[in-house]
Amino acid sequence: MSRLATLLGLSQGSEDQQRLQMAFQESNRAKTPTRQTTNLKMSPIKYYYDLMSQPSRALFIIFRLSGMPFEDRVVALRNGEHLTDDFKRDINRFQRVPCINDNGNKLAESVAILRYLSAKGKIPEHLYPKYFVDQSRVDEFLEWHHISLRLTCAMYFRTVWLEPLLTGRTPTEAKIEMMRMHMERNLDVVEEVWLESSDFLTGPTLRVADIFAACEIEQTRMADYDVRIKYPKIRAWLKRVRQSCNPHYDVAHEFVYKISGTGPQAKL
């Protein structure tokens, strides 16, 4: 400031220099933006789900374990509530569950929802790590799971239980055997690779990968498939996952237990 005054020919401490100083101060105050504080209260997310849906159960358990408040918006898939024009327009353009509405931000797809809420700090790091190496291990499983374990378990379930229920037609033994073979190829990978040397799928402790996978595998109970018979590591792992997630795990799987007629403690 004094250098500028010298260039302008103003003497040190003169009245003109003081006026110049005041002008600069006013100018700087005008340029400095003021932070607007608001008292807007954010509502809990609206969670649209049906516990008949495997990824719906997974997110339900994760939300409960995280202590994250949410509004229950149960969607009855069996009644086709997701197929209405209102649902497509107002809730989820893909007409599926699970999905959320976070104060106007509508989001579908379970893993996208998980990552979004993790970025907001809603999912604890022991379930979905933020450290990139640990997170990459969980993401590696989630990507593999979606195109392998989830796909083949879901197709087995649809072939053996859901489609006969909806159509009244019984699948051929050859088709059932083919679907079982595809599913067991991926169950073999879980048994021999993912659980080769650790208690959980991506390390020594429970993470979201375990919850997504367990919810998928549990669904096969309804198609009269008991994974515990052939896969001892998966049997022990499922027990650990349930113990780590209860009471929320049993709440989420109540429908599965009821339809399959096999409770969580059912013996082989």
Q: Where are the domains of the chain?
A: 2-42, 45-119, 132-260
Alpha-carbon gap, residue 210 to 240, rounded angstroms: 10
Q: If 0-12 CB within 10 Å is exposed, 13-18 middle and 19+ buried, where does residue 107 land?
A: middle
- pTM score, whole prediction: 0.84
Alpha-carbon gap, residue 110 to 93, rounded angstroms: 15
Q: What is the pLDDT of residues 98-133, one digit of tens each?
A: 999 999 999 999 999 999 999 999 999 999 999 999
Q: Is 7 or 202 the better-scoring residue by pLDDT?
A: 202
99-102 CB contacts, 8 Å cutoff, 24+ apart: 99/48, 100/45, 100/46, 100/47, 100/48, 100/70, 101/45, 101/46, 101/48, 102/45, 102/46
Q: What is the pLDDT of residue 263?
A: 73
Q: What is the pLDDT of residues 71-82, one digit of tens each?
A: 999 999 999 999
Rounding to the nearest 10 degrees, give the CA dihedral for residues 92, 156, 189, 225. Answer: 120
Average pLDDT of 214-228?
96
Question: Which position has the token pair 């998928």?
Answer: 216
Q: What is the pLDDT of residues 81-96, one digit of tens each?
A: 999 999 999 999 999 9
pLDDT beyond 90 at 253: yes
Report residue 25's pLDDT band, with 50, 70 and 90 as the boundaries: low
Which CATH code of 3.40.190.10, 1.10.3720.10, 3.40.30.10, 3.30.420.40 fits the domain covering 45-119?
Answer: 3.40.30.10
CATH placement of domain 132-260? 1.20.1050.10
